[in-house]
């Protein structure tokens, strides 16, 4: 597995990481814990050193899973987790008050079975707490040796600049894929300027870019995609044009659609590290195989040209929902 550095921070990780959320949260019922531990170990066997979780996934159960799975590999892997969202009466509530961050870090350290968190993200920007205050608390945690690097998830560029001025950011995590290219407008140029790494989640468009989902797909209530406009039957059908394009390129490169989608993300910048998630060993191997798929500058240019002519149907979050309102702040 190739390695990449997240911006100027010096934090080196495998070129593709593993998003662990779906193992216990967000995509239907949680999977068997022992099976998921085996899957995480299989990722390590294949050279993966970067694992992503969060306090709220479960809540707590995903961090416990990741902590147990990675306990034998201390010092050999990089674990990213997140603070700033808590559950209140079954609903997600933003809370980045200093005392809550300190409470969260202690819980995460215990569940992850580590002395210091490698990469600690604010999960979503809390409009009630100035970002400078959040950055100040994290700066203290870094000085205390409880956190090594920090980042923001789904933050807007002004917030990123303000946070970075107080305590330099190592990475920003946001959605990015052939389906969702908005980060190219403001976010990527800002990160390049500041020397901050980028960790795209949903680089496979929540599974759509694998080419295995069509208009007849159904999602259980506990699968987040059941409320996502992009996954309504009419939008799934309209967006097949993107899948057909990817399949055509995959056939020419002796690769799978998922590998082309990930290779495209990797080809954008050398400081981008996507974190596709999966619960299946064959998908794990397929995803990691993307590092060996090379898109030439000409192929990339042709592909981007074709992508620019495709209009994606359906938003990534329901309009007016708290999910939509918490991004790009």
Token pair in block for residue 177: 């894929």
Domain membership of residue 241 (yes or no) is: no
Task: Give 51 or 329, the one with higher predicted confidence.
Answer: 51
- Largest Cα separation within the chain, whole Å, is 54
State the chain's mean pLDDT as an integer: 97
Residue 91, SS3? strand
pLDDT at 21: 98
Domain membership of residue 221 (yes or no) is: no
- Average pLDDT value for residue range 190-198: 98
CATH (domain of 176): 3.20.20.100
Q: Which long-range contacts (CB under 8 A, 24 or more apart) does 279-286 make?
A: 279/22, 279/23, 279/31, 279/35, 279/36, 279/39, 280/39, 281/39, 281/42, 283/210, 283/258, 284/18, 284/39, 284/42, 284/43, 284/46, 285/46, 286/256, 286/258, 286/259
Domain membership of residue 41 (yes or no) is: yes
Domain membership of residue 62 (yes or no) is: yes
Work out how many domains the chain is built from and give that number: 1
Residues 6+ apart with CB under 8 A from 114: 67, 74, 79
pLDDT at 301: 95
pLDDT at 63: 98
Residues 6+ apart with CB under 8 A from 41: 69
Look up the pTM and report it. Answer: 0.98
- Average pLDDT value for residue range 283-295: 97
pLDDT at 241: 97
Residue 201, SS3? strand
Token pair in block for residue 36: 């998921």
pLDDT digit string (tens) for 125-173? Answer: 999 999 999 999 999 999 999 999 999 999 999 999 999 999 999 999 9
Domain membership of residue 224 (yes or no) is: no
DSSP per position, 29-58: SPPPHHHHHHHHHHHHHTT--EEE--TTTT
pLDDT digit string (tens) for 251-271? Answer: 999 999 999 999 999 999 999
Domain membership of residue 220 (yes or no) is: no
Residue 88, SS3? strand
pLDDT digit string (tens) for 70-121? Answer: 999 999 999 999 999 999 999 999 999 999 999 999 999 999 999 999 999 9
Residue 297, SS3? helix
Residue 241, SS3? helix
Q: Pick the catalytic residue: 57, 120, 121, 176?
A: 57
Q: Is 120 a catalytic residue?
A: no
pLDDT at 102: 98
Where does the pLDDT of residue 229 fall: very low under 50, low under 70, confident under 90, or very high at 90 and above? very high
Domain with 103 in it: 3-207+266-293
pLDDT at 266: 98
**Contact of 200 with 182, CB cutoff 8 Å:** no
From the list 156, 157, 139, 161, the residue with the least C-alpha distance to 148 is 139
pLDDT at 312: 97
pLDDT at 157: 98
Domain membership of residue 214 (yes or no) is: no
Q: Length of the chain in residues, anyone?
A: 329
pLDDT at 127: 97
């Amino acid at each position: 597995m190739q390695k990449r550095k997240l911006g100027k921070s010096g934090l080196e990780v495998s070129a593709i990481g593993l998003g662990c959320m779906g193992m216990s949260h967000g995509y239907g019922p949680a999977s068997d814990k022992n099976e998921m531990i085996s899957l995480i170990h299989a990722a390590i066997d294949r050279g993966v050193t970067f694992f992503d979780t969060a306090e709220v996934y479960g809540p707590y159960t995903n961090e416990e899973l990741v902590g147990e799975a990675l306990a034998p590999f201390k010092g050999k892997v990089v674990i990213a987790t997140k603070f700033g969202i808590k559950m209140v009466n079954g609903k997600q509530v933003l809370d980045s008050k200093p005392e809550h961050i300190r409470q969260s870090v202690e819980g995460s350290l215990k569940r992850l079975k580590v002395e210091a968190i490698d990469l600690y993200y604010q999960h979503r920007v809390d409009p009630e707490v100035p970002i400078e205050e959040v950055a100040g608390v994290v700066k203290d945690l870094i000085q205390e040796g409880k956190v090594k690097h920090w980042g923001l998830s789904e933050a807007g560029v002004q917030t990123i600049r303000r946070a970075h001025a107080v305590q330099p950011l190592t990475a920003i995590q946001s959605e990015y894929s052939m389906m969702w290219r908005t980060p190219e407008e403001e976010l990527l140029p800002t990160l390049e300027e500041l020397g901050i790494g980028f960790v795209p989640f949903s680089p496979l468009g929540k599974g759509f870019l694998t080419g295995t989902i069509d208009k007849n797909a159904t999602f259980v209530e506990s699968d987040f995609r059941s409320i996502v406009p992009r996954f309504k039957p009419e939008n799934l059908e309209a967006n097949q044009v993107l899948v057909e394009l990817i399949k055509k390129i995959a056939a020419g490169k002796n690769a799978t659609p998922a590998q082309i989608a990930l290779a495209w993300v990797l080809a954008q910048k050398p400081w981008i590290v996507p974190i596709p998630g999966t619960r299946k060993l064959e998908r794990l191997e397929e995803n990691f195989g993307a590092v060996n798929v090379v898109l030439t500058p000409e192929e990339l240019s042709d592909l981007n040209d074709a992508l620019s002519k495709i209009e994606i149907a359906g938003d990534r979050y329901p309009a007016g929902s708290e999910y939509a309102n918490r991004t790009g702040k």
